[in-house]
Structure 1
Amino acid sequence: MKKLLFTLSLSLLLRASAALAQTLYVDPGTGSDAADGSESAPYASLEKAVAIANELTGSGPITIKLFPGLYSLTDKVAIHPLRVLSDTGRFTIEAVTMPDDPDWTPAKMPVIQSISSNNSQTQFLHSTGFLVAANHVTIRGLKMLGSAHPDVVYYYPISKEDESLGDMVVSQCYFVSEVHSSQIQGAIWAQGPKTSIDHCVFYNCRNAILLFRSVEDFSVTNSIIYGANESAVWMGPVERFTFKNNVIAGGNYVWVRPGDSSPAYKFIDCVMVDNEHYMGYYGSNGLVETTNNKNFVETRVIKKGEMDLVIRKEPDYPVNYLHLTPESVGYELNAGIFKSPKQPTPVKEKGM
């Protein structure tokens, strides 16, 4: 009898948890903002889905799933749910088809591009894509492009302004910038503790990662930062973090830190090649290179060798575009958007 009561109680508890959880779907091609946001009747805009999700009460996870397509943001998308979240019940925005799914192709990756003018005056005038204003937020499986709006000088696809908030995860995302047409000033600009960046690719962003205030317990793992024309990472004072299995190449500064300081940074199993400068700080005349690196701990960090990325030569995207070629130094680190490595797309010979 006790066993039966326990089974019934567990069943009711699971049903209650399932009822509290909420999943919304968005399809910019076939959806409608007058729909109910279900998988068969998705919303058309990401803004609508986030607005609905923000109003949900109770507890349990909130998930917004994005079908393939182009998502044009006309303003910043602010994530500030009423629902009580936890590290196990998160607010997640993710692709319907993730990079490690067997049927994933580049065409199935949702593309996020802001067409908004400047929409924030926090610290200075700029434009933001996602404004994370809550704890326990995950963004994964998306491709972020730069802003082409002529009024926007500084664009940040993901920002978190409130330094009291923590536990933000960004995973398996592309951040692709073009300096002459659609610049990304900083791909991820986040204050506060516990920011986790994993298996991402940052291509030609002016800065990839900007972390300044109350930064603790953050991690950057298995990511590629290529062509950062200011810095790969610009960070405030912090010593407790994980920086492992990353590739930084083809950029200006690898790391910019506060003043001419020498914090006890630890870099593990990384490749840092073909960059103009290693460490720098912001002085009265702008960025200044420093050799004050006495407290750094580098474990298996490679600074010499040849590295190339898979680029798009044919009309179709290679499945592993902007990832390291097999001949590149650091290929074995498995950096990039795939947690399980994808095989290169076979090249068809002419006449086949």
Structure 2
Amino acid sequence: MQEITILCNTSKDEILDDNADISDLEKFDPAPLIAKIIANIEKVIVGKTEVIKQVLTAALANSHALLEDVPGTGKTMLARALAATIDCNFKRVQFTPDLLPMDVTGTMIYNPADSSFSFKRGPVFTNIFLADEINRATPRTQSSLLEVMEERQVSIDGAAFAIPNVFFVLATQNPVEQHGTYPLPEAQLDRFLLKLSMGYPDRSHERDMLTARRSGNPLATLRPIVSRREFRSIQQYIREKVTISPELLDYILSLAEALRKHPELILGPSPRASIALMNAVRAWACVSGRNYVIPDDIKTLVGPVFAHRLMLQPHALVKRVTATDVVMAVSNSVPVPVSKDSGR
């Protein structure tokens, strides 16, 4: 096999910092850091605190988020604001019908001087990756993200290349425009922890946006306020310190089982979806200032985590029933467990 080298712009110091061991979480308090992240993003994204917290939840859960909304609601701006707030690498790719998988993941380059191959890393080798208008790319290009989003590596010509420990894909798509688009398949949708919608701002918040824009783009004034190491510390804190009680684990399983048996669904949530909900609510609890999960955390996120993974029966589509409607109905019908300590 030919020798393979790697072309990469990442410095040695950045690699060491990204792979540094983080320990001693006993005195670590993530609340001030999370508050600073949210406040900094709100300088640009006005009146969308809930969406900001949910996107941050996906990132802290070491997973990914899909933003679906009409053009001009701030989807791309939110991704750029998050990247500007965290001191990390950010890459954006505008997905188009002529985009190739190698344009995302990278490709092998032959060097005739020494008969060797060099791997040129694609833009996906970053910390925050914005897949803008992902449904405009062909299914072939969309599928190039399947491995990297789940296994956190890229396989090229029999060699596997790891991506950074801090890795978050934020994809956007336009739900109202169908010409020249390719709907994301179920396997791709299943890779996203949350599917969210920005929605229009109310009148007062939109007025604040207009006032802020009179002197230029507020995004240009954002500066990093949290280091990549601090962000990883929050992620590790969530993994090791945020607890969820056995009663709430059973609650998640009851929701998943009820949806799998629902008469208006062809496809219910997979075991991966149950794991995703557990990880999401632990991160949400941390964002909410707690180190334990409560039932309201599950009820808040069960829709954004489960709905995009479901397939409706034809008769449900005829009745204009949405997957979110089904999830909310099941959430209201499944009894909420009562735990004395809520996992503390």
Q: What is the TM-score with the length of structure 2 in the denominator?
A: 0.27
Q: What is the TM-score with the length of structure 1 in the denominator?
A: 0.27
Relative to total residues, which structure has the larger strand share, 1 or 2? Answer: 1
Identify the structure with bigger relative contact order (alpha carbons < 8 Å, sequence gap 6+). 2
